Structure 1
Amino acid sequence: MKKIIISALLAAAATTAFAQGERPAGVAPPGPGEVVIWAVSKSADGPLYRLIGNASLLSTELQLWADELIYNEETGEAQARGNVHFKHFQRGEELWADRAEYNLKEESGKFENVRGASPARAECRPGLLVTTNPTYFEGRWAERLKNRYILYDGMVTNCRLPKPWWTLRAPRFDIVPGERAVGYRAIFRLRALPLLYAPVLYKSLEERPRKSGFLTPNIGNSSRRGRMVGAAYYWAFHRSYDATYRAQWFTARGLAHTVDLRGKPTQASDFNLYLYGVNDRGKKLPGGERRKEGGFILSADARAELGSGFFGRVDGNYLTSMRFRRAFTESFNEAIDSEVHSVGYVQKFWPSFNLNIVAARLENIQSAGSYVPDLKGYLPDEKIVIRKLPQVEFSARERRLGQLRLPVWVSLQSSASLLRREQPTYQSRQFMPRTNLQPRIMTALRWKGFNLLPSFSIQQTYYGTSLEQGRPVNRAIDRFAREFTLELAPPALARVFASPSWLGEKVKHVIEPRAVFRYAAGYEDFSRLIRFDATELAANTTELELSIINRFYVKRGNEVHELLSWELWQSRYFDPDFGGSVTAFDPLTGKARRNVNASTLRLTAFTYLDTPRHYSPVVSALRITPLAWLGLEWRSDYDPLRGHPVNSWLTADWRRSIYSISIGHNLVRSGQQLSASANQFNGRFTLGGENRRGWNAAFDVIYDFRSDVMRYAITQVTYNTDCCGFSLQYRRMGLPDRSENQFRLAFTVANIGSFGTLRRQDRLF
C-alpha cells in the first residue's frame, strides 16, 4: 500500500497563488511507495479522499492534477474531472483531458476528450528531415494499459497546432511507446487533402526498427521508360537477416526487379547482397522495331573477423553488359564508368609484417557490343578481363638493423600469383604463375638541415608465360632487376613579412626544394610481358626529379593557416627510351603507340610518352585558401615539347551562411593516341540544406564544350515546414546513347521517412 502524504490548502488561506501541478512550499517530494496529494480544500471518508480546487496527486512515476480529484488509498483508483492533466516522468508522456479514471497500482486508466504530446524521437540518418516538435495526439477517448495506449477516433501529427500541415486520423490507434504504433483504417491528410488510405498502417518506434511489411509505393515518369509504378515488401525473416524486394513497372520498357539481402551472422561479421535487373521489352525505334537492353547488376559486400587476428573482406560486382548499365542506371558516374571491380581478401597484421591472400577480377570495357540485325540482339562487350586467383602477398615494414651509428632499415615486398588476362586479341593460358620478391635497404644521412636518403633494392620476378608477336607462348621469363634511389631534401628557407590587416597579423613564406635521382636496370623483355598490374610497368630508367614547393602561412590570433601552396616538379630522363621500352610506333601494327610505365605514373595520372623523350611535362599544383570559406585548387601539366598545357584541372569552392558554390573545369589535349580530349565544366550551386526551414534549392551541371551539350544536369527545389518537406527534382542526362529527362517528387515527414520517387542517394541535399 502506498503511503499518503496530504497537504490541504484551505480556501481561506488561498491568497498565495501557485501554478497547477506545482508542489507547494513546505511539501516534501514523495519517496518510493509514497503518494503526495494536495488541493485548496479536501475531505476524507476512510480511505477515500475528495480534493477540490487545484487538486494534484504526485508519485515518483507520475503526476495527475485536475479541478476535482477523488482518490481511493486502498485500491489506487483516482477519478479526475475538469482540466485534467497527466504526466509520466519516466516516458516523458503528457496529456490533457476533460475527465479521467486512473489506477496507480495497475498503471491503467481511461481519458475522455484527450489531447497529449510525446517527446520527439529524432533518427539521425542521411536524407531524413528532423524536427524537435513533440508528437501531438488527440481523440474522443483513450485507454492506458500499463505501457500501452489505445486511442479512439484519434488524430496524430508532429506539426505545430492549431493548423498542422499533415494529420493522420483513424478510428483506432494502438500505441506502445518505444516499440510500435498501429493505425487501423487510417487516412493521411495534407492540410485537408486526403493523400493515403491504409487498412493497417504500422510505424516502428524502436531504436532499430525491424518489422516485415509493405513499403510505400512510388510513381514517376521518364522520357525513356514511360510511366513508372513500383511497390516493395520488407521481410525481416530472422533477427540477424532481412530482405527487401521492389518491383517497378516501366510502361515503355518492362519490369524491373530490385533485391537487397542483408545479414549479420555474428557480432564480428556482416554482409549485403544487392541485385538490380530489368526484363526489357526493348527500346522502341521510329520504325517500330524494339531493341532489348535488359540485364542485371549484382553487388556483394561482406566482412568478417576470422579469429587469430585474421580479417576477411569481399567487395564483388558483376555486370551483364555496358549497354544495360547506360540504359538503366540512375547515376551519371555509373553511366560513364567503364570498369567493374571485384576483390576478396584475407589479411593479418603483425607489428612488423602483414599477410594478404587476394582474389580479384578487373573488367575494363573497351566498347559496348554493336547491334546485329540478323541476330536481333547485341554482341558481347569488347573488354579486357584480368583475374588473380589467388595472389598471396607478404611484406615486412621498414625495420632498423641493430643500433649502428649509421641507421639502416630493411623492408620486403613479395607475392605469388595465379593470373589470367583475356582481351579481344588474345587470352593467356588458364592461370599463369607469377612470383615476385623485392627486398630493400635504406639509410638516412642528416647534416645541418640537409637530409640525404639513399635506398637500394633488387627485384626477382618469374613469369610462367610470355608474349611473342603479340601471342602468349609457354616460355618463362625470369627477370632480375635492381633499383637505386637517392633523395635529397635541403633545409627549408623561410622568412616572415608584415601582412595586410584583412589577411592576418603576419605572413610566413617557406620554400621547400627536393631532388630525387633514380636508377633502374634489369627490366628487360618489356614488350614480352603480359600486363596484369603495376609490376609489369617497371622499366629501365636513369632519371632526376626536381621539385620545389612555395608555402605561405598567415597568423590570425593564436592560429596559423596555410594561405597558399604552389608545387612544381619535373623529371629529366637520361635514358629517353627507357631501355628500349618506349617507341613511337607499335612494332606489330605500325600504329602510333601509347606508352605507360612506372615513371610516368609517379609524376601524373596522364601519360605523355608517345615517343622517346628527355624530359617530362612540368607538373603544377596550386592551392589557395585566403579565407576559411573560400578555396581554389588548380593542377596542370605543361609540356614544353608541345608548347602548351596538355591537361588542366581547376576547382573553386565558396560558402557563406546558407549559400555555397562549387565550380570546376577540366581540359585534356595531349593527343588522341595518348588520352581522349576533354573540355568540360562542372558546377554546383546550393541555397540552404536538407533541414533548413523554408525554401532550399540546388543545381548541379556538367557541360561539354567540345560537343556543346549539357551532359548532365539536376535541379532540386525543396520547401521544408516545421514538420514536413516537399521536394521536386528535374534530371537531364545527355549521353551519346542516352538522352533522358526525369521528374522526381518526394514528400518527407519529419522524424518518420520520405515518400516518392526521389531516393535518398539521388538527392542533392
Structure 2
Amino acid sequence: MVLLTSLEPKQQDVRAQRQRWPVSRGLTQRWNRAFGSLKTVYLLITIMVVAASHPQLDAQEVSNQATPEVGSAVALPDGPDAGQFQAKYPEAVVLPALEGTTTLVTEADTQSRLGSRLVLDGNVVVTFRDRRVEADHIEYDEETGELTATGHLKATGGANNEIITASHGTMNLRTQTGRFYDVTGSVGRKTIDRKTVVYTNSNPFLFTGRLVVKTGPQEYEVYDGTVTSCQLPHPDWLLYAGKFSVGSDKARATHSVFRLLNVPLMYLPYVTHPVDTSERQSGILIPEISNSSTKGLVLGEQFYWAINRSSDLTVGAQYFSRRGWEQSGTYRYRGLGTNFAKAHYNGLLDRGYFNSAGQYVNQGGEDATFAGRYDFSPETRVVANAEYLSSYAYRQAFTENFNQAVSTDILSIVYGVHQTDGYMAAVRTDRYQGLKAAATTTTPEEQVRIFHAPSLDLATTEHRLGTTPLQWNVESSVAGLKRVQPNFATAGLTNRFDLHPELALPLSADGWRFRPSIGVRETIYSRSRVTPYTPGVPMESGEAVNRADVELGFEARAPVLERTFDSKLVEKLFGSEVRHTIEPEVTYRYVSGVGTDFLKVLRFDDVDVVSNTNELEYGTTQRLFVRRPQSKPCKTTEADVQEYGDADMSGEPASTGCGGRELISWRLTQKYFFDSSFGGAIIDGRRNIFDTTLALSGIAFLTEPREISPLISRLRVHPSDKLDAEWDFDLDTGAKKFTSNNVLVDLHEGNTFAGLSYARLNAPGRFYTEGVSSSVSNFNQMRILLGYGSPTKSGLSVAANAGLDLRLSSLQYAALQFSYNWDCCGFSVEYRKYELGAVRNESVERFNFTLVNIGTAGNLRKAERLF
C-alpha cells in the first residue's frame, strides 16, 4: 500500500501552524546542511597530551571495508585486496537541489489515520526527498512533523549518505532533530543495492551508541558510544567515550579510551577530529623513534601546517644521540591541471666522530630540492627540477635511499617552453654537479660543475618543403656556458652559437625505404682551449673558434622478412603458431670540416663532441610473435592498436582475441669507421668521447684509432605478463672482452614477486689532464629482490633485497621487511644494512604502526618499502 500526502499545512491552519512550528525553506536548507556536515566527518585524532596526527601522513595502506548492515546475512570479506582497494572510494556525486519537494511517500502492509496522525505497520517505508526511514511500526503526525519508529529502525540518505540502524527512535522531519536508541551507524557511505554498500569519501565515520541525539541543524551527539573507521561489529580499533559531540567544525570527546584489537591501550583526556574532510587539520605529528648503529637513538618530531586547500608545509627535526641535530622541511602545492610545486630541505649539524685512525670526521651538510610546473596554456609552460647538495659525503652517510647514496651526478634545470605546429622555442638555465674524486681524511672531494646561464633553444620537427617531397628540420641554440673543476675554471661565460639545419628526401619502393639527407652545422665559441694538450692543468684561450661541418647521411631499410611456423610441434610448445620477423637496416654517415678544431673546443655538453666521421652502421632486429588465444570474434580496439600495432600476425588490423604478442626481440648492431682517427680528433691513451659513439653505446671504448666498434646486443624475452627478462651486452671484438654485460629478470606470480639484476663493467676508465687517472672502470655487482604480499594484502607480507659487490665479495646493502595487515590497521618492521666503504657502515631497525584515517607511528616511510 502506498500513500502520498503533503507536508504543507492547510491554508486555514497556516497561521496557527507557524506559531507552533515555523515552516521555511531556510529550515530545509539547514536540514541539508546539518546532514551534509556529517558526510564530511572523518576520524583524525589529535591527542593533546601525547601527540597529534593529520590525514596527510605517509600511512601504510590498509583497507577499511564497508560496515555490513545489522542483521544482514552478507558475510564480512576475508580482507582487502588490490582490486578492492583501488575501487573502494568512488567519487561523491553532487545531488540536485530538492528544495521544492514536499511530498511524503509511505509504504506499509497496513495504514490507518487517527486525525492528523498516520499509523503504519508491517514493512514500513517512509520517503521524504532523498531520505528514507524503514521500521516495523511508524507513527507520523502531519501537523508537527514528528515521526516515531519502533522495530528494526533504519534511517538512510541525505546529502551525507547517512545510515543509522536502531531499535527505536523519534525524529522530526521539519526541525531536523531526533533521538535514536541502541544505534549502529555511519556517515559517508551509501547503499547501491540491498547487498552492496560503498563509501562516498576516503574518511568514513562509523559509530555505535546507547543513545544518539540530533540536537540541531549542525549538532549531533553520541552517548555511551564508540567511533571508528573499521568494520563493525568487531573493529580493529575504536574510541570509547561517555559522550561525543559533533559540531560544525569538529567532533570532541573527553575522558575517552583508545582500544586496539579490543584491548584498552590509552586513556585520552581530550580528543578532537575535524568534521570537514576538505579542510585538513594542522597539528603535531606522531613522534618518530628508531635506533641506528651509527646515529644512535633517533628521536624525531614534525609539525604539519595545512595552509589552505592547495598547499601545506611540514617542518621537523630529528636528534641523533651520536651525531647531532637534523632539520627538515617540505612544502607542497597542487594547482589546476598539472600545475604543482614541491620543495624539500634537510640538513645536519654534525658534531662528528673520530675514526679508527684517530682522525676527526665531520659529515654534516645540506640538501635542498625543488620541483614544479606551471602551464600558461596547453602550448606554453614553465618547469623546474633543481637540487643543491653541499656535500656528497653527507648524502652518502645519511640518506635512506641506496640509489641516491651511490649517485654522484646532480642536474638542476629550469626552463620555459612554447610548442606549436611542430615548432619549439625554449629558454633554459641548468647546473650540472658531478663528483669526480671522493673526499679522504687528508683531501677534500673534487667536483665538476657546468652551467648553462642561460640557453635559448629553437627546434622543429620535419616539415615538407613547399609542394616537394623534401623534408626539412632545424636545431639551433644560443648559450652562455661555464665550467668549473679542480685546477680549472673558464673565465666568465663562454658564448656559443649553434645552427644545424637538415634536408632529407624520404623514398620507398616495394617495401624498401630510403632516406638520403644533407645538413650543415655552424658552431661559434667565444673562447677555446689551448692545443696541443699537455699533462697538467688545462689552459683556456681567449681566441674564438668557428667549428663548421657538412653532414651527409643515407639510411636504408629492407622489407621485413617474415615466416610463420604453424606445425603441431610449434603449437604444442608455444600454444599457437609463431611468426619470426627479421628487420635489417643500414645507415651511412659522413661528417667533414671539424678536423682538429675538435681539440680546441671546451666541453660543456653533447653539442661540443661533434667530430669528423666516415662510418657505416649495420644491424638487424629479430622478433618472435605468438598469437593470442582466440576466444571470441575479432573486434578491433584502440588498446590493441596501441599495444600490438595496426596489424596482427595475419596482416589484418589488430583485434580482440586474434592479435599477436611479442615473445622475443633481439637487436644486434655495430659500426665500421672508415676514418679511424676521426679527422685527427683521437688522442692515444685516454678515453675519447664523440657524438657518434655516444649515439651507439653509453660505454666509452675509443682509446686509440680503430675501425670497428663493439658489437651491441639488446635481447628481451617476454614469455607472459608475469615474467620479463632482458640481456644487454657490449662485446668489444677488438679487445676480445665484454665491456658491459647486464641481465635483468622480473617475475610476478600472484602475491609472489622476485627480481634479479646483474651488471658487469670492464671499460676504459676516466682520465684527467690534472693527473688523476684510472685505466679501467671495473665492477661486478648483483641486485636481488624476493617477496610475498603487498601493502594492501591482509595477513602477512614479507620481502627482502640485497646488493652484492661480486668483485670485492662484499655486501653493499640489504633490507628485510615484515608487515601484517588487519582490517584497518597494520604493523611493519624492517632491518636495513649499509656498507659503503669508509663513509658508511650502518645497521638500522625501523617500524611503523598504522591506523586507517589516523596516521602512522614509526619511521618506516612508504618510499622505503620493498613491496
Q: Report the TM-score when normalising by structure 2.
A: 0.77
Aligned to 2:667: 567
- Contact preservation (8 Å) 1:133, 1:723: no
More displaced 10-residue stretch of structure 1: 539-548 or 210-219: 210-219
Separation in structure 2 between the aligned mates of residue 516 and residue 508 of structure 1, nearest angstrom = 27
CA RMSD of the aligned region, Å?
Answer: 3.1
Letter in 2 for 1:402: G
Following TM superposition, by how much is the alpha carbon of 1:78 offset from its aligned partner in structure 2, in angstroms? Answer: 2.7
- 1:737-761: per-residue Cα shift (whole Å, max 9, x none)? 2111122212223465433211111
Separation in structure 2 between the aligned mates of residue 385 and residue 361 of structure 1, nearest angstrom = 7
Structure-to-structure mapping, 1:111-510, within 5 angstroms:
111-119=180-188, 136-144=206-214, 145-146=216-217, 148-175=219-246, 181-195=251-265, 198=268, 200-204=270-274, 208-263=278-333, 269-283=339-353, 285=355, 291-306=361-376, 309-371=379-441, 380-404=444-468, 407-468=469-530, 469=533, 470-498=538-566, 499-510=570-581
Separation in structure 1 between the aligned mates of residue 524 and residue 253 of structure 2, nearest angstrom = 70
The correspondence for 1:662, drawn from 730, 739, 755, is 755
Aligned to 1:61: 130
Separation in structure 2 between the aligned mates of residue 319 and residue 678 of structure 1, nearest angstrom = 26
1:731 matches 2:832: yes
Aligned to 2:606: 534
Aligned to 1:126: none
Residues 637 and 474 of structure 1: is their aligned pair in 2 closer, same or farther, counting only changes over 3 Å? same
Aligned to 1:8: none
1:680 matches 2:752: no
More displaced 10-residue stretch of structure 1: 450-459 or 264-273: 264-273
Following TM superposition, by how much is the alpha carbon of 1:570 offset from its aligned partner in structure 2, in angstroms? Answer: 0.8
- 1:509-532: per-residue Cα shift (whole Å, max 9, x none)? 111111111111122322222100
1:618 matches 2:711: yes
- 1:361-403: per-residue Cα shift (whole Å, max 9, x none)? 000111233335xxxxxx6531000001110011222111122
Point out where structure 1 has 5 or more consecutive residues left out of the alignment.
6-18, 22-30, 122-129, 373-378, 586-592
Residues 189 and 289 of structure 1: is their aligned pair in 2 closer, same or farther, counting only changes over 3 Å? farther
Separation in structure 2 between the aligned mates of residue 613 and residue 55 of structure 1, nearest angstrom = 93
Residues 65 and 444 of structure 1: is their aligned pair in 2 closer, same or farther, counting only changes over 3 Å? closer
Following TM superposition, by how much is the alpha carbon of 1:655 offset from its aligned partner in structure 2, in angstroms? Answer: 2.0
Separation in structure 1 between the aligned mates of residue 671 and residue 775 of structure 2, nearest angstrom = 19
Separation in structure 1 between the aligned mates of residue 847 and residue 108 of structure 2, nearest angstrom = 56
Following TM superposition, by how much is the alpha carbon of 1:351 offset from its aligned partner in structure 2, in angstroms? Answer: 0.8
Letter in 1 for 2:461: R
Matched residue of 1:114: which SS?
A: strand
% of aligned pairs identical?
A: 31
Structure-to-structure mapping, 1:641-720, within 5 angstroms:
641-672=734-765, 673=774, 676-720=777-821
Matched residue of 1:149: which SS?
A: strand
- Contact preservation (8 Å) 1:220, 1:743: yes
Letter in 2 for 1:35: L
- Contact preservation (8 Å) 1:594, 1:674: no
Aligned to 1:588: none
Following TM superposition, by how much is the alpha carbon of 1:720 offset from its aligned partner in structure 2, in angstroms? Answer: 1.6
The correspondence for 2:676, drawn from 572, 576, 596, is 576
Aligned to 1:757: 859
Matched residue of 1:620: which SS?
A: strand
- Contact preservation (8 Å) 2:555, 2:585: yes
Separation in structure 1 between the aligned mates of residue 747 and residue 820 of structure 2, nearest angstrom = 23
Letter in 1 for 2:812: R
Separation in structure 1 between the aligned mates of residue 435 and residue 350 of structure 2, nearest angstrom = 22
Residues 287 and 641 of structure 1: is their aligned pair in 2 closer, same or farther, counting only changes over 3 Å? closer
- 1:192-227: per-residue Cα shift (whole Å, max 9, x none)? 444555555454565655222222222222111112
1:603 matches 2:696: yes
More displaced 10-residue stretch of structure 1: 189-198 or 600-609: 189-198
Following TM superposition, by how much is the alpha carbon of 1:254 offset from its aligned partner in structure 2, in angstroms? Answer: 1.7
More displaced 10-residue stretch of structure 1: 750-759 or 494-503: 750-759
The correspondence for 1:748, drawn from 850, 857, 865, is 850
Point out where structure 2 has 5 or more consecutive residues left out of the alignment.
9-69, 73-99, 191-199, 631-657, 766-773
Letter in 2 for 1:364: G
Separation in structure 2 between the aligned mates of residue 304 and residue 54 of structure 1, nearest angstrom = 58
Residues 241 and 90 of structure 1: is their aligned pair in 2 closer, same or farther, counting only changes over 3 Å? closer
- Contact preservation (8 Å) 1:120, 1:133: no
Aligned to 2:50: none
Letter in 2 for 1:95: I
Separation in structure 1 between the aligned mates of residue 336 and residue 151 of structure 2, nearest angstrom = 55
Following TM superposition, by how much is the alpha carbon of 1:250 offset from its aligned partner in structure 2, in angstroms? Answer: 1.7
Matched residue of 2:286: which SS?
A: strand
- Contact preservation (8 Å) 1:321, 1:368: no
More displaced 10-residue stretch of structure 1: 166-175 or 704-713: 166-175
Following TM superposition, by how much is the alpha carbon of 1:266 offset from its aligned partner in structure 2, in angstroms? Answer: 7.2
More displaced 10-residue stretch of structure 1: 263-272 or 630-639: 263-272
Residues 677 and 182 of structure 1: is their aligned pair in 2 closer, same or farther, counting only changes over 3 Å? farther
Letter in 2 for 1:741: S
Separation in structure 2 between the aligned mates of residue 38 and residue 753 of structure 1, nearest angstrom = 45
Following TM superposition, by how much is the alpha carbon of 1:675 offset from its aligned partner in structure 2, in angstroms? Answer: 5.3
Separation in structure 2 between the aligned mates of residue 444 and residue 85 of structure 1, nearest angstrom = 74
Higher relative contact order (CA 8 A, sep 6+): 2
- Contact preservation (8 Å) 2:315, 2:330: yes
- Contact preservation (8 Å) 1:668, 1:676: yes
Letter in 1 for 2:779: A
More displaced 10-residue stretch of structure 1: 506-515 or 159-168: 159-168
Matched residue of 2:455: which SS?
A: strand
Following TM superposition, by how much is the alpha carbon of 1:338 offset from its aligned partner in structure 2, in angstroms? Answer: 0.6
1:72 matches 2:141: yes
Separation in structure 2 between the aligned mates of residue 532 and residue 526 of structure 1, nearest angstrom = 13
Q: Report the TM-score when normalising by structure 1.
A: 0.87
Greater strand fraction, Structure 1 or Structure 2? 1
Greater helix fraction, Structure 1 or Structure 2? 2
- Contact preservation (8 Å) 1:20, 1:54: no
Residues 577 and 193 of structure 1: is their aligned pair in 2 closer, same or farther, counting only changes over 3 Å? farther
- Contact preservation (8 Å) 1:660, 1:686: yes
- Contact preservation (8 Å) 1:42, 1:50: yes
| Aligned residues between the structures | 720
Following TM superposition, by how much is the alpha carbon of 1:40 offset from its aligned partner in structure 2, in angstroms? Answer: 7.2
Residues 34 and 350 of structure 1: is their aligned pair in 2 closer, same or farther, counting only changes over 3 Å? closer
Letter in 2 for 1:757: N
Residues 66 and 449 of structure 1: is their aligned pair in 2 closer, same or farther, counting only changes over 3 Å? closer
Following TM superposition, by how much is the alpha carbon of 1:69 offset from its aligned partner in structure 2, in angstroms? Answer: 4.4
Following TM superposition, by how much is the alpha carbon of 1:189 offset from its aligned partner in structure 2, in angstroms? Answer: 2.4
